[in-house]
Chains A and B, each alone.
Chain A
Amino acid sequence: SHLLVAEPEKLFAMPDPLQPDTAQRTLTTLCDLADRELVVIIGWAKHIPGFLSLSLADQMSVLQSVWLEVLVLGVAYRSLGCEDEVVFAEDFVLDEDMSRAAGLTELNAAISQLARRFRTLNLDREEFVMLKAIALTNSDSIYIEDMEAVQKLRDLLHQALLELECQRRPDDPQRAGRLLLTLPLLRQTAGRALTTFYSIKTRGGVPMHKLFLEMLEA
């Protein structure tokens, strides 16, 4: 219930109505949305029990390594209801054609694959918030100084997931494990997102906010 309360309000992408609906506008909207999501994710992380007990340096290392996993998990969860469409925001849904036009075919295929996996599992909101908090603490950053503290947080959230599933689905003892086994695909998908955003940055021409650039370069 703590995690449900910590869940941020949804963001809107608000594509610029004065700009023609081009690939350029799609990418600009996407990068602007990602920047605002980042601010929200950083604020959200502070509400995850124990996160603020990490040193500031470790909080930074953790977020720098997992922010895209947290972001992508949210997008995949929002996309559960629609096949082959990626819901970056309620007012910014990219189907296959729009994705192709913007050069986002591979990213959208990857997020759709993750969303399909969650759809098959019938992932619900409680499980989604649990998994997102676990993804935060599942960092493998080599810059973490006190890995034991991060591991302790991870164990705590893992335990909470086990208890949740034990209460709600005592007939399905594999449920928690099945959810945790989606984490490799989440990491792979976030890797795809990183490659995509990085190549947009390298090509240039799409405005990117400072925080987004800072995290992309981290």
Chain B
Amino acid sequence: KEKHKILHRLLQNST
């Protein structure tokens, strides 16, 4: 998951 940091963050954003 460490390798897919940006996707992870964008999915967690509430927008």
Contact = CB atoms under 8 A, between A and B. Distances in A.
Nearest to B7: A60
B6 A59 contact: no
Interface residues on A, range: 10 to 19
Contacts of B12: 56
Interface string B1-15: 101111110111001
| Majority SS at the chain A contact face | helix
A210 interface: yes
Contacts, number: 35
A39 B10 contact: yes
Contact of B10 (A42, A57, A217): A42
Contacts of A82: none
Nearest to A45: B11
A63 interface: yes
Interface string A51-91: 00000110110011000000000000000000000000000
A42 B3 contact: no
Contact of A217 (B1, B3, B5, B8): B3
Interface of A: 39, 42-43, 46, 56-57, 59-60, 63-64, 210-211, 214-215, 217-218
